[in-house]
């Protein structure tokens, strides 16, 4: 039997404002996520507002940059140190814009999840992030877009899909308007649900 008080320690990696981080923190507070708990937040950008969100929630927050580390390898080593220090069982990429190496992703096989603001395999991969995804969707004229949560491997947006949710594209949408709708109707809904499901799975595997 799984100890009901047992939780998976979660690390959230961010590069910007941390809106998905906030959705995760809110989900932990409201009981949507009960099998995991955010223990540390790491940003690869100094001044990322996601770090402030973490501090306000009383969660340890660190900035580790590739530039200061000196190389991708050194950067990842410093991240791994923090993950081990906080005994992390699941890594959540929430608007994290640094590509992780195969060495890193294979080390944490099926222990890293990411959310992407489109229905993979559309508008994904290298160069597709943030507003660029929504600009591409509108330029193509799609009628439906959405969000995808997937496991992370060495290929950008190339890992196994865990959950998706579709969102309608409306007449007159701008990239900003569409981005907000995808966040509210898809990202903030399926990301917490997926994190809970993956954490529960990790706990079951420990039995």
17 Cβ partners below 8 Å, 6+ apart? 48, 49, 50, 95
Check whether the bond before 80 is cis (ω within 30° of 0).
no
C-beta atoms surrounding 154 within 10 Å: 14
150 is catalytic: no
Backbone conformation region of residue 70, classed left if phi is above 0, alpha if psi is from -120 to 50, else beta: left
Among residues 86, 116, 134, 150, which one is catalytic? 116
Rounded to whole angstroms, the Cα distance separating 94 from 175 reads 19
Which DSSP letter does residue 26 get? H
Q: Which residues are catalytic?
A: 116
């Amino acid at each position: 039997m799984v100890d009901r008080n047992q939780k998976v320690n979660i690390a959230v990696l961010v590069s910007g404002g941390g809106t998905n981080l906030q959705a995760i923190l809110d989900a932990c507070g409201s009981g949507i996520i009960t099998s995991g708990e955010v223990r540390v937040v790491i940003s690869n950008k100094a001044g990322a507002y996601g770090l402030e969100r973490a501090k306000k929630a009383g969660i340890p927050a660190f900035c580790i940059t590739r530039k200061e580390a000196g190389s991708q390898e050194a950067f990842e080593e410093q991240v791994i140190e923090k993950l081990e220090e906080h005994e992390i069982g699941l890594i959540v990429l929430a608007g994290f814009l640094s590509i992780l190496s195969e060495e890193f992703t294979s080390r944490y096989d099926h222990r890293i999840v990411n959310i992407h603001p489109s229905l993979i395999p559309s508008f994904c991969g290298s160069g597709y992030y943030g507003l660029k995804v929504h600009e591409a969707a509108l330029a193509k004229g799609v009628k439906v877009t959405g969000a995808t949560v997937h496991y992370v491997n060495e290929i950008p947006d190339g890992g196994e899909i865990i959950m998706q949710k579709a969102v309608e594209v409306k007449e007159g949408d701008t990239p900003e308007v569409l981005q907000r709708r995808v966040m509210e109707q898809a990202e903030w809904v399926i990301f917490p649900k997926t994190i809970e499901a993956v954490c529960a799975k990790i706990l079951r595997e420990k039995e």
